[in-house]
């Protein structure tokens, strides 16, 4: 699936219409660790059976950045039903992200 580009203007509409959980990546163009994480997330976004992946540029989305209390980036947040289930700061491997998502989605 294609990666979603999420911002202050489209967040509410997207989150309300997505039936499945989503992994949000809070990032910025100037963030070197964010650039290191990008290919991993792109690969996961295309992986069949993985949840939707959305990118939020912190410089372009100050409202979301504040709402999620972003202190450091990259910040990964798993949402299910619009609620934060898990979050993690820093660069992670694809396997570590998969494990974080599995944990977040356990009921």
Characterise 81 by phi-psi region: left (phi > 0), alpha (psi -120 to 50), beta (else). left
Residue 31 gets the label, from left (phi > 0), alpha (psi -120 to 50) or beta, of beta
Q: Is 21 a residue of the active site?
A: no
100 catalytic residue (yes or no): no
Q: Residues 6, 23, 24, 34: which is the catalytic one?
A: 34
CB-based contact 53:93 (threshold 8 Å): no
23, 62, 69, 77, 103 from 56: Cα distances, Å: 10, 10, 13, 11, 22
Which residue in 22, 31, 56, 73 is the catalytic one? 31
Catalytic residue ranges? 31, 34
């Amino acid at each position: 699936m294609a990666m979603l580009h999420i911002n202050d203007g489209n967040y509410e509409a997207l989150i309300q219409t997505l039936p499945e959980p989503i992994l949000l990546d809070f990032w910025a163009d100037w963030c070197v660790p964010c650039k290191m994480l990008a290919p991993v997330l792109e690969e996961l976004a295309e992986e069949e059976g993985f949840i939707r992946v959305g990118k939020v540029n912190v410089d372009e989305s100050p409202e979301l950045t504040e709402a999620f209390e972003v202190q450091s980036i990259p910040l990964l947040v798993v949402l299910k039903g619009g609620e934060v289930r898990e979050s993690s700061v820093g660069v992670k491997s694809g396997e570590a992200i998969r494990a974080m998502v599995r944990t977040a989605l356990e009921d």
